[in-house]
Homo-oligomer: A and B are copies of this chain.
Amino acid sequence: MPSDKNIELTISDGHASAPPKAAKKILDVAYDLFYRRGIRAIGVDEIVKRAGVTKPSLYRSFPSKDELAASYLRQYDLEYWERFDEAVAANPGDPRAQIKAFLTRIGKRTQVADYRGCGMTNAAVEYPDHSHPARVVSEANKQELRRRLRAMAAAMGAHDPDTLGDGLLLLIEGAYISGQLFGLGGPAQSVARNADLLIEASLKK
């Protein structure tokens, strides 16, 4: 079983000088480059160069570039739900406020120069093939997002929770994309306002 080729990000144990694993440096650099400039646009040579390691090191920790891309997205997934759960935890028992907090945060993130949208969404655009390792991770992330949004719409007491949940997802994806298409002052800055209008119109009267 080749399970020792998986990546475990062991946290520094504080004990003496634990040599920072090559795998972590590689994944960190790949994360940054893949997200900012796209997966197809980045070659493995640039990754190892910027990480200060060599190519064999990369292929000892990751079976292929495609799997490295999938690992990047798995890391992205973790941080994504961290941010999501922060917005949820900040507004306990109030799904409408939770959504508003999450979307306000997205709206703000889109209003910076060179905003690059959602790494999951971008990866799916880069790899139309549903069997690509990176796309598998991306699709699972989006399915989970849809599930949560529909559940929250139901908890809000929406007249048609699935439609509202899907509507919120459309607004979110639209914000990711238009955030990187238009620069500052683009449509994405209004995502929270529009979502709230849509929610208001979707609640049981």
Residues of B within 8 A of A202 (CB): 197
Contact call B181/A174, Cβ cutoff below 8 A: no
A90 sits at the interface (CB 8 A): no
Shortest CB distance A179–B (Å):
10
Give bound CA distance, A170 to B176, whole Å: 9
Contact call A178/B142, Cβ cutoff below 8 A: yes
Give bound CA distance, A104 to B203, whole Å: 23
Give bound CA distance, A165 to B174, whole Å: 13
A187 sits at the interface (CB 8 A): yes
A24 sits at the interface (CB 8 A): no
Shortest CB distance A99–B (Å):
14
Residues of B within 8 A of A194 (CB): 163-164, 166-167, 170, 198
Residue from B125, B166, B169, B200 within 8 A of A122 (CB atoms): B125
Contact call A126/B38, Cβ cutoff below 8 A: yes
Residues of B within 8 A of A182 (CB): 139, 142-143, 146
Contact call B181/A128, Cβ cutoff below 8 A: no
A175 sits at the interface (CB 8 A): yes
A36 sits at the interface (CB 8 A): yes
Residues of B within 8 A of A201 (CB): 197-198, 200-201
Contact call A187/B170, Cβ cutoff below 8 A: yes
Contact call A173/B178, Cβ cutoff below 8 A: yes
Q: Which of A176-191 contact B (CB under 8 A)?
A: 176-178, 180-182, 186-191
A172 sits at the interface (CB 8 A): yes
Contact call B142/A181, Cβ cutoff below 8 A: yes
Quick one: given A117-B125, A182-B142, A200-B201, are A177 and B173 in contact (CB under 8 Å)?
A: yes
A-B contact pairs, 20 of them (CB 8 A): A37-B128, A38-B40, A40-B41, A114-B128, A122-B125, A125-B125, A139-B181, A142-B178, A143-B182, A162-B190, A163-B194, A166-B186, A170-B171, A170-B178, A170-B188, A170-B190, A171-B171, A173-B181, A176-B177, A201-B201
